[in-house]
C-alpha cells in the first residue's frame, strides 16, 4: 500500500512540477512590445549624430547651419570646425554611442570618439580620442543645443606645434 501511495504522490509532484515550469515558460515568453514612436525617435537621434559626423569628415559646413541652434557657444564651435576644415586636408572620425537619455524634447547622447587629422605639411596625422555629450532638442527634427565634455571639433586650435630639429 505504501508503494502504491508513493507512486501516486510522485506522479502528482512530477505533474505539478511540469505544470509549474510550463507556466513559467509561458509567462516569460511574452514578446516585449517596443513602442514604434520610441523606436522611430531613436533612429532619428542616431541619424542626426551620423549626419554631424559625416558633415565634419566630409567638410560640409552647410549641414551644421541646419543642425545647430543659433547659440553663441555653437557659433564658436562652428568657427572652430571651419578652422579644422581649412587646416586639415583629411579628417576621419568615428563615434561610438554609449547611452541616450530622453526627457521630453531633451536628448543627451553620450559617446566615445576617436579620430585622425592630417595636415598637408605633416607626415604623421594627429590622433586623438575622447568622450562627449551631444545635447539636442526636438521631436520630429533634432537640433544640437550644446556639447559637453571633450568635443572632437576644433583640433586645429588644440594642436601643439612641433619643432622639427634642423638637418645636418
Name the pTM for this structure: 0.74
46 pLDDT band, cuts 50/70/90, is: very high
pLDDT at 164: 52
pLDDT at 17: 58
Averaged pLDDT for residues 126-135: 96
pLDDT, averaged across the chain: 84
> Do the Cβ atoms of 147 and 77 come closer than 8 Å?
yes
Instruction: Measure the CA angle with vertex 32, ends 29 and 36; round to 5°.
Output: 155
Each residue's pLDDT tens digit, 71-124: 999 999 999 999 999 999 999 999 999 999 999 999 999 999 999 999 998 889
The CATH classification number of 36-156 equals 3.10.450.50
Report the distance separating Cα 14 and Cα 19, nearest Å.
8
The structural domains of the chain, with segments of one domain joined by +, span 36-156
Amino acid at each position: 500500500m505504501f508503494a502504491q501511495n508513493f507512486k501516486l504522490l510522485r506522479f502528482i509532484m512530477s505533474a505539478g512540477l511540469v505544470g509549474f515550469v510550463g507556466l513559467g515558460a509561458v509567462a516569460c515568453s511574452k514578446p516585449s512590445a517596443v513602442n514604434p514612436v520610441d523606436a522611430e525617435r531613436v533612429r532619428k537621434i542616431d541619424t542626426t549624430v551620423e549626419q554631424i559626423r559625416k558633415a565634419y569628415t566630409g567638410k560640409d559646413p552647410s549641414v551644421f547651419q541646419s543642425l545647430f541652434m543659433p547659440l553663441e557657444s555653437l557659433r564658436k564651435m562652428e568657427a572652430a570646425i571651419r578652422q579644422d576644415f581649412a587646416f586639415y586636408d583629411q579628417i576621419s572620425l568615428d563615434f561610438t554611442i554609449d547611452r541616450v537619455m530622453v526627457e521630453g524634447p531633451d536628448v543627451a547622447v553620450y559617446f566615445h570618439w576617436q579620430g585622425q587629422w592630417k595636415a598637408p605639411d605633416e607626415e604623421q596625422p594627429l590622433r586623438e580620442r575622447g568622450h562627449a555629450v551631444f545635447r539636442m532638442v526636438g521631436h520630429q527634427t533634432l537640433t544640437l543645443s550644446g556639447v559637453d565634455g571633450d568635443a572632437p571639433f576644433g583640433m586645429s586650435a588644440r594642436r601643439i606645434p612641433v619643432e622639427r630639429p634642423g638637418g645636418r
